[in-house]
Chains A and B, each alone.
Chain A
Amino acid sequence: MDIEPFMLRAVLTALFLGPLCGFIGVFVTARRMSFFSDTVAHAALAGVALGFWLGLPDPTIPMILFSLIIAGLILWLKERTALLNDTIMALLLSGSVALGMVILSLLKGYRGELDRYLFGDILSVGWGDAALALVVLITVGSVLFWKLNALALLTAHSDLAHVSGISVRWLNYGFVALLTVTVALSIRLLGIILVTSLVVIPPAAARNLARSLRQQILLSLLLGLVGAGGGVVLSYPLNLPSGPCITLTLVGLFVVSLIGGRLQRAHQNAS
């Protein structure tokens, strides 16, 4: 069976980023950072618009950079002001989207591009994106495994992590940077609006079945792989944007895990 090169690029990128989002998502959901993930994803729109405005053929780098700047701003405002987290993120999310829309409306011929970034498009994934996704999978995945104990302890209790000799501040910054890069890169596949689903749904589905953190991480990796890969494969014959296909595949997996978890518990109670 011949496989189109664009399809191969998209499937490979999905297979690299799906498990990574699933892994990092375990800590994102436990630390209640889903809205944070959503905010840095929306901030990417302004980065994309700036890239086009500067005449760059590929806006990936400004997209990641702008998301990192917004992530840093969230942390800075959280430390330096009395504003609530939700308020800070709502402020920066709406501000970035508005900035992106203003820049794009000043440019001509970028309407189609906007849709690609909002909903994801497998046609927009180049070999460079696939290679970058592999590099990010290896580096971010390795750091997450290397810092697994520290992250788990930070999630349980930040003071306890400090007393155990962990530099809580730098671990927080590092985690936010890794999350931002992972999310920004996944926008090509899922789009800005739906990218958080790949970070949130796999760990939530894994939680329905897992009985330990180890199982939750491994299941979340697997569900991210199946959801992202399956969604991309489905999007081509159905002629649909890849973002909604991946998200609906993940929702389907979540429903299956919910039923599976209930059956598992009923079986345990009966025996």
Chain B
Amino acid sequence: MDIAFRSPKPAAVEVRDLHVRLGGNPVLRGVNLRIEAGRMVALIGPNGSGKTTLLRCLLGLQKPDSGSVRLLQEGPPDPALLRRMGYVPQRLQLDPSFMLTVREFLAIRRPLTAGWFWRPSRQIDALLHEAVGEMDVTRLLDRPVAGLSGGQLQRVLICSSLLNEPELLLLDEPTAGVDTPGEADFYELIAEVHRRRGLTVVLVSHDLSMVYRHASRVYALNGVICCEGAPEEVMNAESLRQAYGIHFTPYQHHHSHSHGSHGH
């Protein structure tokens, strides 16, 4: 008998019946989610749909009222599991009075370079060489992090999150402070990292056109997962109406023009 068994890929993220109330208001009302390992997926939804709350649950920053989160087939987020994950926030809370340079920011994130304060810059650069080259941030190393543009900062944040070789990368509205041409470059970069490293990427985004181009699967959230599937399935008007509560025709970003290197 010649039967090929195709077992489903293991799940990098499994969320079951997740409920969260914030200030008495139900924000997540029974979210069920399964993200296969090695995929690049997008979590979309309007403001207040619970995207950030769900992300905070995945990162162990928000305790759910009920339901479960299982990451990398192990269990709920704990310090050991978090070390196998990367997180890219929207922006940093850095005050311009804090002179942390890109080199120092990258060094404090990696155990190998933890003693950066006492080491010469050349030694730190040698230890960071690979990740810094991959993300093309070499010429930013001496710049203060607080003075970077939105696009430059996102590159540095991804570079720092890749330092510890994560298996799962979570990005929260990563292009919030980036100009439109910079956004396209940014998503190309993430897609390239995904292809090269084969890690699972979860993009939390409101940017439907970019999601359409790069994600292999899209989850639309509005308190619950109201639809999921391939981008072309989810991006039809009816699905989006369920998620956003309005009639919506997705704009598709056409690439008949070339993008410059804005925001780098």
Contact = CB atoms under 8 A, between A and B. Distances in A.
Contact of A207 (B59, B82, B97): B97
Interface in A204-262: 204, 207, 210-217
Contact of B100 (A152, A163, A165, A203): A152
Given A153-B109, A160-B87, A213 B82 contact: no
Interface residues of B, number: 30
Contacts of A215: 99
Nearest to B87: A163
B104 A211 contact: no
Given A153-B108, A163-B85, A158 B93 contact: yes
Contacts of A152: 100, 104-105, 108
A158 B61 CA distance: 10
The listed residue with most A CB atoms (<10 A of its CB), out of B61, B83, B100, B142, is B100
B92 A149 contact: no
Given A211-B142, A213-B100, A159 B95 contact: no
A55 to B, nearest CB: 44
B98 A213 contact: yes
Nearest to B101: A212
B98 A30 contact: yes
Contact of B89 (A148, A159, A165, A213): A159
Interface in A102-154: 145, 148-149, 152-153
Contact of B98 (A145, A155, A214): A155
Contacts of A162: 59-61, 82
A142 to B, nearest CB: 13
A29 B145 contact: no
Given A31-B95, A153-B108, A160 B100 contact: no
A157 B114 contact: no
Contact of A30 (B59, B89, B95, B117): B95
A153 B145 CA distance: 12
B260 interface: no
Interface string A7-31: 0000000000000000000100111
Contacts of B82: 162-165
A213 B104 contact: yes
Contact of A159 (B59, B100, B103): B59
Contacts of A158: 93
A156 interface: yes
The listed residue with most B CB atoms (<10 A of its CB), out of A204, A210, A213, is A213
B94 interface: yes
B24 interface: no
Contacts of A164: 82, 109
A155 B95 CA distance: 9
Nearest to A27: B98
Given A30-B98, A148-B117, A207-B97, A165 B79 contact: yes
A210 B109 contact: no
Contacts of B89: 157, 159-160
Interface of A: 26, 29-32, 145, 148-149, 152-153, 155-160, 162-165, 203-204, 207, 210-217
Given A153-B108, A160-B92, A204-B97, 13 more contacts: A26-B98, A29-B97, A149-B114, A152-B100, A155-B94, A155-B100, A156-B93, A157-B92, A159-B89, A160-B87, A212-B142, A213-B100, A215-B99
20 contacts: A30-B94, A30-B95, A148-B108, A148-B117, A149-B108, A152-B100, A152-B104, A152-B108, A155-B95, A156-B92, A156-B93, A162-B60, A164-B109, A165-B79, A210-B99, A212-B103, A213-B104, A215-B99, A216-B99, A217-B117
